[in-house]
Amino acid sequence: MKIVVMGGTGLIGTKLVKTLSEAGHEVLAASPATGVNAVTGEGLAAALTGADVVVDVANSPSFEQKAVFDFFETSGRNLIAAEKIAGVKHHVALSVVGTDRPNANTYFLAKLAQEKLIQESGIPFSILHATQFFEFVGGIAQAGTQGDQVHVSPALFQPIAAEDVVSALAEVTTGSPLNGSTEVAGPEKIGLDAIVRQYLDLKNDIRQVISDVHAPYFGAEINDQSLVPGDQPRTGKQTYGEWIRKPGNLR
């Protein structure tokens, strides 16, 4: 089976290409770095020739409102058009748990717009909603930093290791189209403030974590229902405590 991974040179894409290749599939890592750009359309037709499945894990380089909407809507339309010409049989997209929740932030709303394009495309599809990656905890801390303090919501979330996202994504990719969505999350719920505190402690970072229910999560206030999955998500194997102690993961 030929599988094209859009965003195939990024965090998730690189791991997914390796996993699918080792399983015996013909896999193309497509990204601007390899001459394939879904925003401009460059290289799309050639990349998708003969493709059975396209997996879109590409991400916007900017989270500014106009830029992020332009990225997901333009790339989504171009990719769908190219897939129809190529006869792609299954479109798989990686999205985020919480895109359809009240008070979603701009990034989540842009991903929701991308999902709508996929759902209305007429191409068989599967959407995997993942919770936040362990790899992003440092970014969450940085986003909440004010001087020597880090203001973070205590809202619960259920973060996951990138490797566990890739395992679920590979399973969805090689399966039959869901024509719907499914969720994947880490094995435990934890407060954003608690995980940031743990991260800073392990790095011997002296910034003080301030638990603040009004602290925005990338532009929007959240609660215990904003970022957690539903009742029966696929579940990753690694806890944050296990993952963060592996060599190279504490960055």
Using DSSP's 3-state secondary structure scheme, residue 112 falls into helix
CA dihedral sign, ordered 87, 92, 98, 103? negative
pLDDT digits (tens, 9 = 90+) for 192-204: 999 999 999 999 9
> Any residues with CB less than 8 A from the CB of 213 and at least 6 apart, and which?
153, 154, 155, 221
User: Hey, which bits of 37-138 come out as E strands?
Assistant: 53-56, 90-96, 125-130
Closest by CA to 180, choosing from 102, 119, 246, 103, is 119
Decide: pTM greater than 0.85. yes
pLDDT of residue 159: 97
CB-CB contact of 107 with 139 (8 Å)? no
pLDDT of residue 68: 96
Closest by CA to 214, choosing from 152, 157, 167, is 152
Quote the Cα angle for 130-203-168, to 5°: 20
The DSSP result for 20-59, as a single string, is HHHTT-EEEEESGGGT--TTT-TTHHHHHTT-SEEEE---
Tens-of-pLDDT digits for all 251 residues of the chain?
999 999 999 999 999 999 999 999 999 999 999 999 999 999 999 999 999 999 999 999 888 999 999 999 999 999 999 999 999 999 999 999 999 888 889 999 999 999 999 999 999 999 999 999 999 999 999 999 999 999 999 999 999 999 999 999 999 999 999 999 999 999 999 999 999 999 999 999 999 999 999 999 988 999 999 999 998 999 999 999 999 989 888 87
Q: Which domains does the chain have, with CATH numbers?
A: 2-244 (3.40.50.720)
pLDDT of residue 63: 85
pLDDT of residue 102: 84
Residue type, 233: P
CB-CB contact of 45 with 82 (8 Å)? yes
232 vs 78, 133, 160, CA distance in Å? 33, 19, 15
User: Could you give the angle at which helices 11-22 and 162-174 cross, rounded to 10 degrees?
Assistant: 50
Residue type, 24: G
Tokens of 156: 């619960």
Residue for token digits 């989504």? 76
pLDDT of residue 250: 82
pLDDT of residue 225: 93
